[in-house]
Amino acid sequence: MTTTTTTVTETVSLDKPLPKGRSLWQLSWMRLKKDPYAIACSVIILFYVVVALLSRLDLVGYPWDAKVGESYGRPDTSSFATFLGMDIFGRSVMYKTIYGLRIAMSIGLVTACIAVPLGASMGAIAGYYGGWIDEVFVWFYTTLSSIPDLLLLIAISYALGKGMTAMYVALISTSWIGIARVIRGEFIKHKEREYVVAADALGASDFSKIFKHILPNVSHFLILNFSMQFMSAIKAEVILTFLGVGIQGLPSWGNMIDDAKLELARGVWWQLTGATVAMFVIVLALNILGDSLRDALDPKIK
Amino acid sequence: MFTFLVRRIIGTIPIVFGVALVVFVLFNIVGGDPALMMVGKHATAQQIADIRREYGLDLPLPIQFLHYLRDIATFDFGRSYATRQKISDMIMNGVGPSLSLTLPAFMLTTVVSVLLGLVVSYFRGKIIDRVAVILCVIGMSISVLAYILFGQYYLAYDLRLFPISGYDYSLTGRFEYLALPILLWLFLSMGSEVRFFRTAILEETSQDYVRTARAKGVSEPRVFLKHVLKNSMVPIVTNVVLEIPLLVLGSFLFENFFGIPGLGSITIDALHNSDLPVIKTMAFVISLLLIFGNIMTDLIYALVDPRVKLS
Amino acid sequence: MELLYLMINPKHTRLVRSAFALSLGVSLLAFVGCTKKSDLDPTNTFYTSSIAKIKGLDPAFADDMYSGYEVTRIYEGLLQYKYLKRPYELEPCLAEAMPTISKDGKTYTFKLKKGVVFQDDKAFKATNGKGREVTAEDFVYSFKRLADPKLNSPMWWLFDGKIEGLNEWHDASAKAGKSDYAANISGLKAVDASTLQIKLKSRSYQFVYALAMPATTVVAKEVVEEYGAEFLNHPVGTGAFKLAEYNPSAKIVYVKSPSFRKEFYPSEGDAEDQAKGLLADAGKQLPLVDKVVMTVHVESQPQWLNFMQGNLDLAPIPKDNFAQAIDPKTKGLTEEMKKKNIQLFIEPSLDITHTSFNMTDPVVGKNKYLRQAISTAINTQEEIDLFYNGRAVSAQGPIPPGLAGYDPATKNPYKEYNLEKAKELLKKAGYPDGKGLAPLEYLSLADTTARQMTEYFQKAMTAIGIQVKVQTFSWPEFQQSLKNKKGQMWSFAWGADYPDAENFLQLFYSKNSSPGPNDANYDNPEFDKLYEKSLTMNDSPARTELYKKMAAIVIEDTPWAFGVHRLTYGLTHPWLKNYKPHEFNHGMAKYYRIDTNLRK
């Protein structure tokens, strides 16, 4: 028994495009380390995470709902709170931007953390088992993706009431489809490969074949998709909140941009600027990092 | 080919059914009671009951769902609760404005992006390419709301280059009012489009036949125009075709901001009014267009790429 | 050619400025040659706008202000408001004179004007498309439509339970599943072609107002039957204008109706009207403009911009352009506006905003002191500054200024912003510093301003220790909660249907509880008794006293935290003459005149 197992591992390691496989990660890491853009973007993302954590601990940008100046006070570099000016109630736009950052990061993180594994396992199961499971699955995701995202998002947030939870559910329920589709396709390809056939011959369970053998081989898709989902969740929050079905009662970037709709005409540009610049930077960082990851992980390009 | 089409069309039935089911469940459970929206501010309980009966809202949900399926099968969608207009008329009236916005925007974006994609990939690795790629990423990272709000504010309000919003059915009016949204649309989508086309074209340039051609001493512009462009058309065309059916729908956000009375704004209005018949019809129409787009893409694939077989 | 002419709107011939539009616009050249002469003076046009899409032009469904404005350009009813007279007063429109009312106050007899005809339409088959004369039967028919259970008119409340036999007809029709318009109704009779008799179930002094509302204008049976469900898109009335171009979600164009009866500009007005030149056209045949163009601008920014560019003749000032229009120091127009000779009109609206407490709720509904504490903790003045640019007055009671029953001397003891007092009241309520009080559920709408106001309210409550849990809803969900008596508090507003304080006091009548207009579900037998008594009384000092008494009861009980009465700030361009703001601006475009020389 023991011997067999060893053989299996060896067969597998030999059979899957191994030296490439393992060194793909190492290689990728090497490539990434040499990419100054990727480093810079990682620093930015790390910075956002730190700010979000500090805000969660009420160490920075707190309290956001205190009056720090007059209604629509102009930006004033004398203090951190007034740096980006004041909103209609004289609250600090800087603090609100930071709070919005915290909300955006948690939405991005939660959505990506749930949607990607969920989509991946759904896609894996469908692709691996095929047959009627696959048919039902394909029907399900085609149906969901045939309903416009916005309509679906609005309906779900109506159903669950507004707030963070509704937002998470809504975003997750629309964003798992993309990765599920990709993983399903990969599984259909991979399950015929020799290493899987070999594992099968040696009596590996379905579970272990799916999660121990095939999934690691397609995991670079997950990483890429993670950064993409993170980004689109942030973007979606802003649009949904703007349309009145998102976060309520808390300063989010969407709410700030919504306020700005009425403020621009009176020359109050700082709230829009604060929210859009903060959002731009993180989305840009995620975009570039995503590109770098793709370049690093995909040996074909380069 | 014919059997392929027939099979695909039959294959849409379960999907349309699925969409109908999801939309029905979601909007009959949530989003308010349409009877309350119709009854006005001096409502009485009796009047609400009257309306429920008149519109069949008092029937059990499964029966109502069957009615919905019947409406879909007969293409008879009835009248809007909120505007009391025929839904088919509303859609017909909305398609024009939606297309006036999306068609020129889409064509302009595609042409500009393909051209830029060509230029950029021709200068691959050079400074132009690098700057362009960075600009693309920057463009993609700006929120659509920021584009619209800043565009409306600076270009229309401040500089008065465009009307802020609105729509006019006359030809001149259309051009005047839609110029800004089309321009913003172009900037908004150019980033990802150029990048996409660049990748598609570059993928071709690394093919063997390109190397062969180069080795044979064919000049670089010639390689590019004769071989690369032709072959990279496959992904480009399929990408483009997939979007065409969606153009009919206009754009929720653009129509909302610019007051364009297209299908997007009709849908949003319906959501705000619990206008169930309109919501259901729009969901159905949209899903149909999406499915149609998918079939078209498959067809085009087969037409431009002989390796793909329709089976 | 009419249509082509309309397409070359003079406003659009100016250079299309963007290069982009130019490049696409070459095909325009084809159209330029087509401008054709018309017998209408193109510059003699009144350009107006609506902030909401129009729901179609069927009077029976004109339950919102904006549809009401449009419907009454074409349709007319028995009565109308005097254009210049304040306080508001009715005058005959299609009726020859004000009705004669029987001694018991229940029977109203109207004599109709002779020779009033509908506009031409192919539906009038008997007369080959020529509009026929309006008869009393037409009114009977039009009123029955409001009661038709097949139509479900949202304006049925005007007659519901008021006219003898009409409810019976409604019920019978509902039962039969078919409405028999030929059936006789005892309370609604065409005595002869030009005499209409209406019998009420009980005396009502507010009833006449119903007859000046857009919903009770007269429609022709032939037209309704000809177009069926499409009737709302084929308006044929007796009014000063008829339809020329129609897209209810974008633009409606009306032209002077050639068959309009002889009606003349009013010659009675006070000294102020005289001074403002509002009587210059006295005695002139109406309408004074040849055309009315109404554009829909669902956002206030484009509406404002179009006004500033001179494409609209009048516009309200959006909250965010207030600083551009009004000088905060002088409270008058800014230099920019003065230079353009723009006129400012300030008119108090007959309305009230309020925070309703759900009186059926075991917490807020049963604890008067809690409600009073909440009301006292709201800084209305700051709200007025933040959200209304000072364009509102703090509401002390339920009756807005301008109506009999409003008492300027009334000081609501729970409207003075006083945190100490609020805390004391909260203690009296049994929740010292908010202790023991579960977070209160506040329903809010999701739009920008509502969201900001809710945040403000939340902050105000935190100051006295009350936690507020906000539920944000779309309009349909909000309605659903209210009509099902869910939620503890919410914000709402009421605009007058007619100029009588009764329209505001009925909001507290227990029989009007949700789903009716009494959204607070206030139920006080003492108030009900006074209200019912007031209904049987003529406009008199005694009734006014009664109104004040009712207001005092409501103020003490605080089923609402009263908000504000808004002021409407409107601007007009100098070329728009004879404009006087009117709360019930129905069909009044016929009085406006355009000084075509001033309009460039």
| Neighbouring residues of C471: CB distance < 8 A, sequence distance ≥ 6 | A161, A162, C441, C442, C443, C444, C481, C487
Residues in chain B closer than 8 A to C63 (CB atoms): 40-41
Task: State the pLDDT confidence band at B310, using cuts at 50, 70 and 90.
Answer: low
C-alpha dist (Å) from residue A3 to A14, A202, C80, C399, C500: 16, 12, 101, 93, 97
The CA-CA-CA angle for residues C122, C124, C128, to 5°, reads 75
Chain A contact partners (≥3 CB pairs within 8 A): B, C
pLDDT tens, position by position, C232-261: 999 999 999 999 999 887 889 999 999 999
As a whole number of angstroms, the distance between CA C397 and CA C391 comes to 18
In a domain, B40, yes or no: yes
Q: State mean pLDDT over A91-98.
A: 93
Residue of A nearest to B199 (CA): A301
pLDDT at C576: 95
Residue A297's nearest CA partner among A233, A229, A222 is A222
Contact between chains at C446 and A88 (C-beta distance less than 8 A)? no
Q: Does A299 touch chain B (CB under 8 A)?
A: no
Q: Is C574 helix (H, G, I), strand (E, B) or coil?
A: coil
pLDDT tens by residue, A262-293? 787 777 889 999 999 999 999 999 988 888 88
In the three-class reduction of DSSP (H, G, I as helix; E, B as strand; rest coil), residue B219 is classed as coil
Phi, psi for C364 (deg, rounded to 5): -70, -30
Q: What is the pLDDT of residue C37?
A: 37
- Tell me the backbone φ, ψ of residue C287, rounded to 5 degrees: -80, 160
Taking residues B61-78, what's their average pLDDT? 88
Kindly report the three-state secondary structure assignment for every residue of C44-102: CEEEEEECCCCCCCCHHHCCCHHHHHHHHHHCCCCEEECCCCCCCCEEECCECCCCEEC
Domain spans, chain A: 111-250
d(CA A286, CA A280): 10
Instruction: Spell out which chain A residues touch chain C, with contact meaning CB-CB distance below 8 angstroms.
Output: 65, 71, 88-89, 158, 161-162, 244-245, 248-249, 255, 258-259, 261-266
What average pLDDT does range C464-483 have in this prediction? 87
Are residues B55 and B186 located together in one domain of the fold? no
A67: left (phi over 0), alpha (psi -120 to 50) or beta: beta
| Tokens found for residue C19 | 């290069």
Name the CA radius of gyration of chain A, rounded. Answer: 23
DSSP codes of every residue in C362-379: TTTTT-HHHHHHHHHT--
- Cα–Cα distance for residue pair C570/C326, rounded to 1 Å: 11
C459 touching A (Cβ < 8 Å): yes
> What does the pLDDT read at residue C552?
96
Residue A124 CA to residue A219 CA, distance in Å, equals 11
Closest CA to C542 of C404, C450, C412, C441: C404
Residue A254 with chain C: CB contacts under 8 Å: none
Single out the residue of C573, C36, A269, A186 nearest to residue B154, CA to CA.
A269
Q: What is the 3-state secondary structure (H, E, C) of C445-504?
A: ECCHHHHHHHHHHHHHHHCCCCCEEEEEECHHHHHHHHHCCCCCEEEEEEECCCCCCHHH
Quick one: angle between helices A149-159 and A219-242, nearest 10? Answer: 70
Task: Sort out which chain C residues have CB atoms less than 8 A from B261's CB and list them.
Answer: 247, 249-250, 296
Instruction: Tell me which of A138, A147, A174, A284 to substitute to probe the interface with B (most B C-beta atoms closer than 10 Å).
Output: A147
Q: What is the DSSP letter of C285?
A: B
- Which CA distances in Å does C57 have to B84, B261, C52, C252? 11, 18, 14, 11
State both tokens at B295. 């079939």
Q: How is residue C240 written in tokens? A: 């000063």
Which of the given ranges, A28-37, A156-165, C275-284, has the highest pLDDT on average?
Answer: C275-284
CATH number of residue B212's parent domain: 1.10.3720.10
Cβ–Cβ under 8 Å, residues A99 and A61 = yes
Same domain, B93 and B28: no
Q: Is the CA virtual torsion A276, B270, B177, C313 positive or negative?
A: negative
Is A140 in the B-facing interface, judged by CB distances under 8 Å? yes
Sign, Cα dihedral of C101, C104, C106, C107: negative
HSE-up (13 A, CA, CB side) for residue A302:
14
Put simply, the answer to whether A71 touches C386 (Cβ < 8 Å) is yes
B74, B96, B119 - which closes a domain: B74
Answer with the one of B51, B74, B97 that is the final residue of a domain.
B74
Cis peptide bond N-terminal to C328, omega within 30: no
Supply the pLDDT for residue B309. 59
- Selecting from C20, C152, C483 the residue whose C-beta is nearest the C-beta of B36 gives C483
Average pLDDT over residues C33-45: 55
Higher pLDDT, C242 or C10: C242
B82 found inside a domain: no
Contact A235 B143 (CB under 8 A): yes
3-class secondary structure, B68: helix
Is residue C443 scored above 80 in pLDDT?
A: yes
Domain limit, last residue, from B27, B48, B74 = B74
Backbone angles phi, psi at C499, to 5 degrees: -80, 70
- Residue scoring higher pLDDT (B283 or C397): C397
CB under 8 Å to B125, separation ≥6 — which residues? Answer: none
Whether B207 contacts B258, CB under 8 Å: no
Contact B84 C58 (CB under 8 A): yes
Q: What average pLDDT does range A13-30 have in this prediction?
A: 57
Neighbouring C-beta atoms of residue C536, cutoff 10 Å:
12
Architecture of the domain spanning C71-233? Alpha-Beta Complex (3.90)
Q: The tokens of B269 are what?
A: 């209005």
Give percent of chain A with pLDDT exceeding 90.
27
pLDDT attached to residue A24: 65
Helices (H) and strands (E) in chain B, counts: 14, 0
pLDDT score at A194: 85
Average pLDDT taken over every residue of chain C = 88
Q: Is A161 left (phi over 0), alpha (psi -120 to 50) or beta?
A: left
Residues paired with residue C562 on neighbouring β-strands, in sequence order = C354
Q: What share of chain C is helix, strand, coil (3-state, %, to 5)?
A: 35, 20, 45
Q: Give A113's contacts (C-beta < 8 A, 6+ positions apart).
A: none
| Contacts B34 to C, Cβ<8 Å | 476
pLDDT tens-place string over residues C157-213: 999 999 999 999 999 998 898 899 999 999 999 999 999 999 999 998 899 999 999
Q: Are B44 and C157 inside 8 Å of each other by CB?
A: yes
Same-domain check for residues B177 and B42 = no
pLDDT at B12: 83
Q: For residue C39, name the pLDDT band (cuts at 50, 70, 90).
A: very low
Both B130 and B272 in one domain: the answer is yes
ipTM over 0.90: no
Give C43's pLDDT tier (boundaries 50, 70, 90): confident
Per-residue pLDDT of B112-123, as tens digits, reads 998 898 888 888
Q: Quote the pLDDT of residue A22.
A: 53
Pick the more confident residue, A168 or B259.
A168
User: C381 — contact with chain A (CB < 8 Å)?
Assistant: no
Predicted confidence (pLDDT) at residue A48 exceeds the cutoff of 90 = yes
Is 3.40.190.10 the CATH number for C2-67+246-346+569-599?
yes
Decide if C301 and B152 are in contact by the 8 Å CB cutoff. Answer: yes
Candidates B26, B27, B33, B42, partner chain C, best to mutate (most C CBs within 10 A)? B42
- CB distance A88–C452 less than 8 Å? yes
Task: Report yes or no: C95 and C138 within 8 Å, Cβ to Cβ.
Answer: no
Query: For chain A, give me the number of helices (H) and strands (E)?
Result: 13, 0
Out of B8-12, C158-162, C339-343, C499-503, which region has the weakest mean confidence (pLDDT)?
Answer: B8-12
What average pLDDT does this structure show over C376-381?
Answer: 95
Q: Do B252 and A150 touch (CB under 8 A)?
A: yes
A61 Cβ neighbours under 8 A, 6+ residues apart: A55, A92, A94, A95, A96, A97, A98, A99
Query: What does the DSSP 8-state code read for residue C228?
Result: G
H-helix or E-strand spanning residue A274: helix A270-297
pLDDT at residue number C219? 97
Class of domain C351-567: alpha beta
Interior CA angle at A204 toward A201 and A209, to 5°?
110
- Same domain, residue pair B18 and B136: no
d(C-alpha C213, C-alpha C361), whole Å:
36
> Do C451 and A161 lie within an 8 Å CB cutoff?
no
Helix (H) / strand (E) element for A97: namely: helix A93-129
Whether residue B157 is found in the same domain as residue B279: yes
Answer whether B290 sits within 8 Å of A146, measured CB to CB. Answer: yes
Residues B40, B165 within the same domain: no
User: Rounded to a whole number, what is the distance in Å from the CA of A256 to chain C's nearest CA?
Assistant: 10
**Average pLDDT of chain A, as a whole number:** 83
CB contact under 8 A, C515 and B182: no
Which of the residue ranges A60-69, C246-255, C278-287 has the most confident prediction, judged by mean pLDDT? C278-287
Same domain, B30 and B99: no
pTM more than 0.90: no
Domain count of chain B?
2
List CB contacts (< 8 A) between C472 and chain A: 162, 244, 248-249
Residues B34 and B107 in one domain: no
Cis peptide bond prior to C515, omega within 30° of 0: yes
Selected residues 28-47 of chain B with any CB under 8 Å from a CB in chain A? 29-31
CB contact under 8 A, C247 and B152: no
Position B306 scores a pLDDT of: 64
Q: Who contacts C450 (Cβ-Cβ below 8 Å, separation ≥6)? A: C444, C491
Contact A266 C323 (CB under 8 A): yes
At the fourth CATH level, the homologous superfamily of domain A111-250 is MetI-like (1.10.3720.10)
Q: Determine the residue among A89, A153, A272 to mutate to test chain C binding: the one whose Cβ has the most chain C Cβ atoms within 10 Å.
A: A89
Closest CA to C294 of C309, C310, C312, C307: C312
| Whether B5 contacts chain A with CB within 8 A | no
Are both B145 and B270 inside the same structural domain? yes
| pLDDT single digits (tens) B140-152 | 888 888 888 888 8
Instruction: Note whether C386 contacts A88, CB cutoff 8 Å.
Output: yes
User: Are residues B143 and B70 part of one domain?
Assistant: no
Do residue B287 and residue A146 have CB atoms under 8 angstroms apart? yes
Provide, as residue numbers in chain C, all residues whose Cβ is less than 8 Å from the Cβ of A244. Answer: 446-447, 451, 472, 474
Assigned domain for B81 exists: no
Q: Looking at beta carbons, which pairs linking C424-430 to residues 24 or more positions away fall under 8 Å?
A: C425/C369, C425/C370, C425/C372, C425/C373, C425/C376, C426/C369, C426/C370, C426/C373, C426/C464, C426/C465, C426/C466, C428/C369, C428/C373, C429/C367, C429/C368, C429/C369, C429/C370, C429/C373, C430/C367, C430/C369
Residues B100 and B63 grouped into a single domain: no
Residue C56 and residue B83: Cβ atoms within 8 Å? Answer: yes
* Binary contact (B157, A264; C-beta < 8 A): yes
Give yes or no for residue C28 having a pLDDT over 60.
Answer: no
> What is the domain range of residue B14?
2-74
List chains touching C (3+ CB pairs under 8 A). A, B
Residues C500-506 have a mean pLDDT of 95
Lowest mean pLDDT among B41-50, C93-102, C165-174, C502-511: B41-50
Phi, psi of C566 (to 5 degrees): -85, 155
Would you state the pLDDT for residue B31? 60
Query: Is A242 in CB contact (< 8 Å) with chain B?
Result: yes
Peptide bond connecting C287 to the previous residue in cis, omega within 30 degrees of 0: yes
Query: Is residue B292, in this structure, part of any structural domain at all?
Result: yes
Q: Which of A262, A264, A268, A257 is nearest to A234 (CA)?
A: A257
Sheet holding C560-562, edge to edge: C468-473, C440-445, C489-495, C351-357, C560-562
Write down the H helix ranges in C148-276. 166-176, 207-210, 221-227, 271-275
pLDDT for the residue numbered C9: 30
- Domain segments of chain C as ranges: 2-67+246-346+569-599, 71-233, 351-567
For residue C476, say if its preceding peptide bond is cis, omega within 30 degrees of 0.
no
Structure confidence at residue B30 (pLDDT)? 66
C420 pLDDT band, cuts 50/70/90, is very high
**Lowest mean pLDDT across B63-67, B143-147, B233-237:** B233-237
